[in-house]
Structure 1
Amino acid sequence: MSQPFIEARNVGKQYGQDIILERVNIQVQEGEFVTLVGASGCGKSTFLKMILGTEQASSGELLLNGQAMPNEPGPDRGIVFQQYSVFPHMTVLENVVAAKGFQKASLSGYLFGKEKQQAKDEATEVLTQVGLSHALNRYPHELSGGMKQRLAIAQAVICKPRILLLDEPFGALDPGIRADMHRLILDLWKKHKLTIFMVTHDLKEGFYLGTRLWVFDKLRHDPHAPNAYGASITYDLPVGETQDSLYQEITDQIRPDSMATEQTETVL
């Protein structure tokens, strides 16, 4: 097998005395789509931030193409949050052009002349891909929640990242819009040959999207010191090959209280 695109070697993360992650060991090839599930506070978003470069490992090694993961964000890694990171005073088109401009080394990120026109052309193409070609001149306050999230995705994709990080991007959307967003993100994944990591609290969503699912949980617990041990990846599953009994086991693990009486549904 070729060298992993991303590799974690015994990675741990802690803040002071609080241990968030420990003994994380994974290998990911370029082009995979990994979904991350687990109880709130178990380190899923922290791991995403470590890939982004806004957080660093406290122990172990996190590698990108065999080299240490850069300790700051770069254009090779895009991220989309649940809360829309758009500029309210800019139109849809201007928002995406601005995202392209921020790739520049200058403080302002302003584009001029041919460079600006090229960015507009690229932004229009990306906005067409995400279904916003009819809304180029609208402002964010004129958009629905689903349209704002499409805009945030366009901002990330125009920078042509190799890695796209999604931190619960569809959590605030209703089921019908979420289904549309699922189709969109799968289309973009294939079209742009992205490597995607997506945090979700929806186990069904985690099994539906992508190629691989990770479950974050603590293997060791101390009731007197809840932060004495960190979470690790307790399941690493190929999507679509999970039995109902294992699906229920994972459901009970990540939502033991609210899901106790819920009947398991078959995951296709």
Structure 2
Amino acid sequence: MAIIEMNNLWKEYGDQVVLERLNAEVQEGEFVTLVGASGCGKTTFLKMLLGTESPTRGKLLLDGAPIPDQPDETRGIVFQRYSVLPHLSALENVMLSDELHRHKLIGRAFGGKRKALKDAAMAMLESVGLTQAAGKFPHELSGGMQQRLAIAQALMKRPRILLLDEPFGALDPGIRRDMHHLVLDLWREQGLTIFMVTHDLAEGFYLGTRLWVFDKTRLDPQAPGAYGARITYDLPVGDCDKGTLTAIQEQADATARTMA
């Protein structure tokens, strides 16, 4: 059974159609990258996977059942803008979700439970290469280190699905390459299913096992919100020739001009 299924999935806000007629299945362990013009619904789709947005029509299924309508431990997310809390150390940031989950009133564990949680958080920091930064605060970390910390936060609950919303867009090229290696290592080691939004087509082909292109196939200049984006290409990475790559880029550029 597929981990994620979409059956005639739509997302609308009033008379504004964002996504329409999405149909696809994703098997556990796939790495799906999402590309397309700004504003075509890629982040909205991630929010539906997370559970902070609900489908308007159609079905979005997790293991054959409707996806939970609120975030839970099955899905973690990392945004482009660092989501760490500035008043907590790196270690405390990673511990926070479990402390809040286990101790909702005071948000803090004690005794043996706290030690076990601290050990688990240190192991997670080690997995993202931040062992030496455990006691540092976010303002003492570089952009790449802060994003490593955000990934550690997202993985602390051992989610099955990791959602990445342009996580490397604000990083320098050299740091981005390091982050690429980190994400690929974590994906393989933890058996994650990953959905990642990126505006970098080359990044999408390099990281993913499968690439989705979101684009509007129907456009009405008099009513720009009348139609939504669809998945116009669904490509196994490595099976795309240079001509198809160029066509995808030209299609995305044309849509961006139309939507501007």
Partner of 2:47: 49
Is the contact made by 1:99 and 1:156 (CA closer than 8 Å) also made in structure 2?
no
2:232 matched to which residue of 1?
A: 234
Out of 11, 14, 30, the residue aligned to residue 13 of structure 1 is 11
Q: Distance in 1 between matches of 2:218 and 2:198?
A: 23
Q: Report the counterpart of residue 211 of structure 1 in structure 2.
A: 209
Q: Which residue of the partner structure matches residue 35 of structure 1? A: 33
2:106 aligned with 1:124: no
Unaligned 5+ runs, structure 2: none
With normalisation by structure 2, the TM-score equals 0.96
Residue identity matched to 1:252 = E
Structure with greater helix share of residues: 2
Residue 152 of structure 1 is matched in structure 2 by 150
Which residue, out of 157, 161, 168, partners 1:163? 161
Alpha-carbon separation, structure 2, partners of 1:203 and 1:108? 45
Note closer, same or farther for the CA distance 1:101–1:231 as it changes in structure 2 (3 Å cut): same
Code of the aligned partner of 1:4: A
Inter-partner Cα distance in structure 2 for 1:105 and 1:234: 45
Shift of 1:205: 0.3
- Residue 248 (structure 2) aligns with: 250
Structure 1 187/89 Cα, relative in aligned 2: closer, same or farther at 3 Å? same
| 2:213 corresponds to 1:222 | no
The number of residue pairs the alignment matches comes to 257
Question: Retained in 2: the 8 A contact 1:103–1:159?
Answer: no
Q: Secondary structure at the match of 2:125?
A: helix
Alignment partner, residue 77 of structure 1: 75
- Runs of 4+ aligned structure 1 residues displaced above 4 Å come to none
CA contact (8 A) 2:216 2:255 kept: no
Identity %: 60
| Contact 2:216–2:228 (CA under 8 A) maintained in structure 1 | yes
Q: CA deviation at 1:109?
A: 3.0
Distance 2:255 2:32 in 1: 26
Mapped contact 2:138–2:146 kept (Cα < 8 A): yes
Q: 1:158 to 1:8 in 2, by over 3 A?
A: same
In 2, distance between residues paired with 1:232 and 1:163? 22
For the 8 Å contact 1:75–1:103, the answer to whether it is kept is: no
181, 184, 195: which one aligns with 2:182: 184
Separation in 2 of the partners of 1:228 and 1:258? Answer: 16
Q: Distance in 1 between matches of 2:110 and 2:50?
A: 29
In the TM superposition, what is the alpha-carbon distance from 1:107 to its structure 2 partner? 4.3
Corresponding residue for residue 87 of structure 2: 89
1:109 to 107, 110, 116: 107
Give the match's secondary structure for 2:102.
Answer: coil
CA shift at 1:44, angstroms? Answer: 0.4
2: distance between equivalents of 1:213 and 1:241? 10
Shift of 1:104: 3.0
- 1:262 equivalent in structure 2: none
Q: Which amino acid aligns with 2:196?
A: M
Output the TM-score relative to the length of structure 1.
0.93
Alpha-carbon separation, structure 1, partners of 2:107 and 2:238? 43
